[in-house]
Structure 1
């Protein structure tokens, strides 16, 4: 695995975290927990009983299984598509696709940061259930419905991950898995600390601007072909620091 792939994997993880902390997800996070457990938000915040917390955690895990099945499935599909396209085209297609991916990610970064308004991306589309299907299996379906929709925050970020996956098919599935892990970790942590969501929501817009800026930088690096050079530089710096500490 190249240094550039290593860096992209960590960026995919960060993209998952950014998706969860976005204004489209974090503010409604307690409501989703309430919906999948059948308990009120007040009960979830105030009840510290171990059985209730265990139930909450199990439902969260099944919800994330539903989310990951859609995200990872799309990642696998896009990776095969990217591999097929590269196989059909001749010449230096890798660089061409990389540059297209770079332009797309720059545009998505501008949108995520709020510096570019694309009206078609502002529309929210989600699968809605009038009533939650019963049991843990129903929670999986709710998670799949959440992932299969489009929101102005998550959609552009995950679309960028899919474009990167298509441009590097051999690592595409890994990128989507890391994205899912990045989304799942804060989800599980905040399941136990619902009271902290209000504090984080206050900074969600600033978090999105910072995340959008990182996406723009990544897009520029992809377009100019500098991702590998930057990655090698960072890897060398870490190795030098590590060996100097050992010495």
Structure 2
């Protein structure tokens, strides 16, 4: 595993944080965790109570995600004899995540468009633009996307977790909520997290898998902690950044689709080898 993989995992965490499903409700989480009310949100400068609550919250989900990474590697090793199949199906799942992240499943004629894409791939093959191997890889991805869509997995992913901001919790409670966050916020962070877990399942050791998820946690957690430390500035940032939410969805979704294809085709492993993985 190269440093590029760890950087990619970190950027994946940052992408999760900046997504329109996560970023707008972070202030609500911070308020609930620390008990800081609306009037206190305007406090300028360093806000220690919110910072400490956010730090403990991030520690909670970082531990959970890191253990998930190690577990994914161990699980992947148990299916080592079927690695090629797991990688190809996993690539299709990552493409599905990417389409979800980009909001493509909200289109009314998605299935018609999906079949149209499959027909396009066939045409490219008959025109000898792509090889038979590439055709099978692309049609396999289409098949996985169709299968998951048919079972309405996209509807499950679109269910967002809502947070009611009332009361407060203790510092211990903030840590425990972080642990629960790792398992309960999958509708928001599932596409990127699932992609990294799939990649972690292909690592040689549990330590490498855990490292990937630890760096993902850093990408998701560092902005969270900084936002808690400087809450008033963070609220202003959210207002200004909200105009870019759609761009984050589209670009992030396209990157996941590309990553899924590279994974399914085996090119991701080749790139990792060239980079000294």
Alignment TM class, shorter chain as reference: 0.7 to 0.9
Quote the offset at 1:8 in angstroms. Answer: 2.7
Q: How many residues align?
A: 223
Quote the offset at 1:9 in angstroms. Answer: 2.2
Asked if residue 123 in structure 1 is aligned to residue 159 in structure 2, the reply is yes
Structure 1 partner of 2:83: 94
Following the alignment from structure 1 to structure 2, what is the Cα–Cα distance between the partners of residues 66 and 121? Answer: 23
Gaps of 5+ in 1: 237-247
Asked if residue 167 in structure 1 is aligned to residue 202 in structure 2, the reply is yes
More relative contact order, 1 or 2 (CA 8 Å, 6+ apart): 2
Following the alignment from structure 2 to structure 1, what is the Cα–Cα distance between the partners of residues 8 and 58? Answer: 20
Following the alignment from structure 1 to structure 2, what is the Cα–Cα distance between the partners of residues 132 and 142? Answer: 12
Structure 1 partner of 2:267: 226
Q: TM-score, normalised by structure 1?
A: 0.80
Select which of 101, 110, 113 maps to 1:112: 101
Following the alignment from structure 1 to structure 2, what is the Cα–Cα distance between the partners of residues 129 and 137? Answer: 18
Select which of 45, 48, 53 maps to 2:44: 48
Following the alignment from structure 1 to structure 2, what is the Cα–Cα distance between the partners of residues 94 and 68? Answer: 28
Asked if residue 187 in structure 1 is aligned to residue 220 in structure 2, the reply is no
Q: Is contact 1:128-1:145 (8 Å) kept?
A: no
Q: Is contact 2:158-2:187 (8 Å) kept?
A: yes
Asked if residue 33 in structure 1 is aligned to residue 30 in structure 2, the reply is yes
- 1:168-191 Cα distance to aligned partner (Å, 9 max, x none): 252211111111011012212333
Asked if residue 77 in structure 1 is aligned to residue 71 in structure 2, the reply is yes
Following the alignment from structure 2 to structure 1, what is the Cα–Cα distance between the partners of residues 45 and 9? Answer: 35
- 1:8-29 Cα distance to aligned partner (Å, 9 max, x none): 3222111100111111211011
Quote the offset at 1:47 in angstroms. Answer: 0.9
Structure 1 partner of 2:178: 143
Q: Is contact 1:26-1:197 (8 Å) kept?
A: yes
Per the alignment, do residues 177 and 49 of structure 1 end up closer, same or farther by CA in structure 2, a change over 3 Å counting?
Answer: closer
Q: Is contact 1:67-1:144 (8 Å) kept?
A: yes
Q: Is contact 2:28-2:165 (8 Å) kept?
A: no
- 1:166-214 Cα distance to aligned partner (Å, 9 max, x none): 1225221111111101101221233323221211222122112111111
